[in-house]
Structure 1
Amino acid sequence: MATGIVSVGLHLVGHETFSRAALALAGAVWLVLAANFSARFLRDRPRWHAEADTPPALTAVAATAVLGTRLSLLDWQTAAAALLALATVLWPGLLCSVVRHWKRRMPGGAFLVCVATQGLAVLAATLAAAGEGEWLAWAALGVFCLGVLLYGEALVRFDFRQVWTGAGDQWIAGGALAISALAGSKLTASPLWTGDAHQALRTATLVLLGLDLAWYAILLTAEVVKPRPHYDVRRWSTVFPLGMAAVATLATGAAAHVKGLHTLGVVLLWVAVAAWVLTLAGFLVTRVGAGRSASRSP
Structure 2
Amino acid sequence: MDGRDGQADDGPTHDGGTGDGRTGEGPVADDRRTGGERARSGAPDPGWAALPPAAGAAVMATGILSTGFHLVGRELLSAVAFALTAAVWLVSAAGFTALLLRDRRRWTAAADTPPALTAVAATAVLGVRCALQGWTVPAAALLVLGALLWPGLLVAVVRHLRGRGPGAVFLVSVAGQALTVLAALLAPKAGPWLAWTALVAFLLGLLLYADALVRFDVREVLRGAGDQWIAGGALALSALAASKLMTSGVWTGGAEQALRAAVFVLLVADLCWVVVLSVGELLRPRPGYDVRRWATVFPVGMTAVTLLSVAADTGTRGLEPPGRVLLWVAAGLWMLTAYGSGRRHTARRPHHPAHPPR
Instruction: Please give the TM-score of this superposition, normalised by the length of structure 1.
Output: 0.96
Which residue of the partner structure matches residue 55 of structure 1?
A: 114
CA distance, structure 2, for counterparts of residue 179 and residue 229 of structure 1 = 26
Letter in 1 for 2:76: T
Which residue of the partner structure matches residue 92 of structure 1?
A: 151
1:289 positional shift: 2.9
* Map 1:38-187 → 2, pairs under 5 A: 38-129=97-188, 131-187=189-245
Asked if 1:282 corresponds to 2:327, the answer is no
CA distance, structure 2, for counterparts of residue 272 and residue 295 of structure 1 = 38
Task: Tell me, yes or no, if the aligned pair for 2:150 and 2:175 is still in contact at 8 Å.
Answer: yes
Letter in 2 for 1:243: G
5+ long unaligned stretches in structure 2:
1-59
Structure with a larger share of its residues in helix: 1
Which residue of the partner structure matches residue 206 of structure 1?
A: 264
Relative to structure 1, the CA distance from residue 39 to residue 180 in structure 2 (aligned partners, 3 Å threshold; closer, same or farther) is same
How many residue pairs get matched?
296
Asked if 1:245 corresponds to 2:332, the answer is no
Deviation by residue 1:214-256 (Cα, 9 ceiling, x = unmatched): 0011101111111100000000000010110111111112222
Asked if 1:255 corresponds to 2:348, the answer is no
Secondary structure of the 2:81 match is: helix
Task: Tell me, yes or no, if the aligned pair for 1:182 and 1:252 is still in contact at 8 Å.
Answer: yes
Task: Tell me, yes or no, if the aligned pair for 1:188 and 1:256 is still in contact at 8 Å.
Answer: no
Which residue of the partner structure matches residue 31 of structure 1?
A: 90
Task: Tell me, yes or no, if the aligned pair for 1:177 and 1:208 is still in contact at 8 Å.
Answer: yes
1:265 positional shift: 0.9
Task: Tell me, yes or no, if the aligned pair for 2:246 and 2:260 is still in contact at 8 Å.
Answer: yes
CA distance, structure 1, for counterparts of residue 262 and residue 110 of structure 2 = 34
Secondary structure of the 1:229 match is: coil
CA distance, structure 1, for counterparts of residue 353 and residue 294 of structure 2 = 29
Instruction: Please give the TM-score of this superposition, normalised by the length of structure 2.
Output: 0.80
CA distance, structure 2, for counterparts of residue 43 and residue 287 of structure 1 = 23
1:295 positional shift: 5.1
Deviation by residue 1:125-176 (Cα, 9 ceiling, x = unmatched): 01114x2322211111111111011000000000000010000000001111
Higher radius of gyration, 1 or 2? 2
When structure 1 is superposed on structure 2, of 168-177 and 278-287 the one drifting more is 278-287
CA distance, structure 1, for counterparts of residue 267 and residue 201 of structure 2 = 18
Task: Tell me, yes or no, if the aligned pair for 1:88 and 1:120 is still in contact at 8 Å.
Answer: yes
The structure 1 residue matched to 2:276, chosen from 218, 221, 226, is: 218
CA distance, structure 1, for counterparts of residue 322 and residue 247 of structure 2 = 20
What's the % identity of the aligned pairs? Answer: 59
Asked if 1:190 corresponds to 2:248, the answer is yes
1:287 positional shift: 2.5
CA distance, structure 1, for counterparts of residue 117 and residue 353 of structure 2 = 37
CA distance, structure 1, for counterparts of residue 107 and residue 346 of structure 2 = 29
Which residue of the partner structure matches residue 271 of structure 1?
A: 329
CA distance, structure 2, for counterparts of residue 40 and residue 288 of structure 1 = 22
Secondary structure of the 2:300 match is: helix
Secondary structure of the 1:171 match is: helix
When structure 1 is superposed on structure 2, of 56-65 and 132-141 the one drifting more is 132-141
Task: Tell me, yes or no, if the aligned pair for 2:185 and 2:248 is still in contact at 8 Å.
Answer: no
Letter in 1 for 2:101: L
Task: Tell me, yes or no, if the aligned pair for 2:163 and 2:215 is still in contact at 8 Å.
Answer: yes
CA distance, structure 2, for counterparts of residue 50 and residue 282 of structure 1 = 26
- C-alpha root-mean-square deviation of aligned residues, in Å? 1.4
1:296 positional shift: 7.4
Secondary structure of the 2:73 match is: coil
